[in-house]
Chains A and B, each alone.
Chain A
Amino acid sequence: MLQIDKIQENDHTILILSGEVDASNSVDLDNALQAIMEPNKKILLDGSKLQYISSAGLGVFMSYLEEFEAQTIKFVIFGLNQKVYNVFHILGLDQLITIQTTKEKALQEFYEA
């Protein structure tokens, strides 16, 4: 089960993922990201309620990285639990995607850079 909620806060958009991302529902994550893509946008992904992610979910993030750069979109993930963070780390995706521990630190990436 994956639930995706969207909150607009100041000039950044927060996507909140709750549950598990796998091959059965990664298309929902893809659609949610696609729907908010806009040049110069700031996107925060709240992963604090994410219990599991497989390569299908990681692949969605990977497939947007070039587009984020092309459209100067800032994208930061925060709040991952240890198990989920570990999955990003195994493949070295934590080197390609900005991942912060808390929302405060994630926001600093946008507003204090």
Chain B
Amino acid sequence: MRHNLILSCEKSKLAELRGFLNGVLDKSQLSDIAKNQVVLAVDEVCSNLMIHSHHCNPDDKIFLEVFQTDNKLIIEIKDSGEGFNMLEYEQPELAEVKRKRRKGGLGIMLVKKIMDHIEFESSGNQNTCRLTKMLNSK
């Protein structure tokens, strides 16, 4: 079964996103901690898109699709416009984050640690970030 959500690029919508994901993941076999991690990873990707790619413009939308195939939970996050490929983002060291008193950069670290697989595709104006979590892992 596929579950879809259309999200306005407003940070106030992140709670709604988490509510949607918690509802979908309730039926999965993930532990509560793993569910929270997946919700967090998607929250981080969407927050990044809202803030960095869409400058929190509520007219811009993010399209989310969640489905299971074999033993994988897949979350596809689509948007249009200037793409943000976190795999190309140079990840800071934790010590550097602390030393420079910076607040950013931790979200991408979390996504990379939580998800088993992260893919980016850009086709024309369409960007897709595909997050995969193995259902028998972690």
Binary per-residue interface labels of chain B (94-123) against chain A in the complex, 1 for a CB within 8 Å, 0 otherwise: 100111011111110110011000000000
Say whether, besides A54-B43, A66-B98, A90-B113, A22 and B11 are in contact (CB < 8 Å). Answer: yes
Contacting pair A59 B47 (CB below 8 A): no
A63 vs B106: C-alpha distance when bound (angstroms): 11
For A52, what are the chain B residues with a Cβ–Cβ distance below 8 Å? 18, 36, 39-40
Which single residue of chain A is at the shortest CB-CB distance from B15? A20
Return chain B residues, CB-CB under 8 Å to A66: 98-99, 101
Asked whether A59 and B106 contact (CB < 8 A) given A23-B51, A52-B36, A90-B114, the answer is: yes
**Closest chain A CB from B37 CB (angstroms):** 7
Number of A-B contacts (CB under 8 A): 88
Whether B11 pairs with A24 at a CB distance below 8 angstroms is: yes
Q: Quick one: CB contact mask for A53-89 with B, threshold 8 Å, 1 for yes?
A: 0111011101111110000000000000011001100
Residues from chain B with a CB closer than 8 A to the CB of A55 are 44, 47, 106-107, 109-110
B contact patch SS: helix
Q: How large is the interface on B (under 10, 10 to 19, 20 to 34, 35 or more residues)?
A: 20 to 34
The answer to the question of A113 belonging to the interface, with a C-beta cut-off of 8 Å to chain B, is: no
**A87 with B107: CB separation less than 8 A:** no
Closest to B51 in A: A23
**Hey, which chain B residues are within 8 Å of A63, CB to CB?**
101-103
Chain A count of residues within 8 A CB distance of the other chain: 29
Q: Which of B11, B105, B113 has the most CB of A within 10 A?
A: B11
Q: Are A62 and B11 in contact (CB under 8 A)?
A: no
Q: Name 17 extra pairs, CB < 8 A, besides A63-B101, A63-B102.
A: A22-B14, A22-B15, A22-B47, A23-B43, A23-B50, A24-B11, A24-B15, A52-B18, A52-B36, A54-B107, A56-B107, A66-B99, A83-B32, A86-B33, A87-B37, A91-B113, A96-B98
What are 14 A-B contacts defined by CB distance under 8 Å?
A52-B18, A54-B47, A62-B98, A62-B102, A62-B103, A63-B101, A66-B99, A66-B101, A67-B101, A82-B33, A83-B32, A91-B94, A96-B94, A96-B98
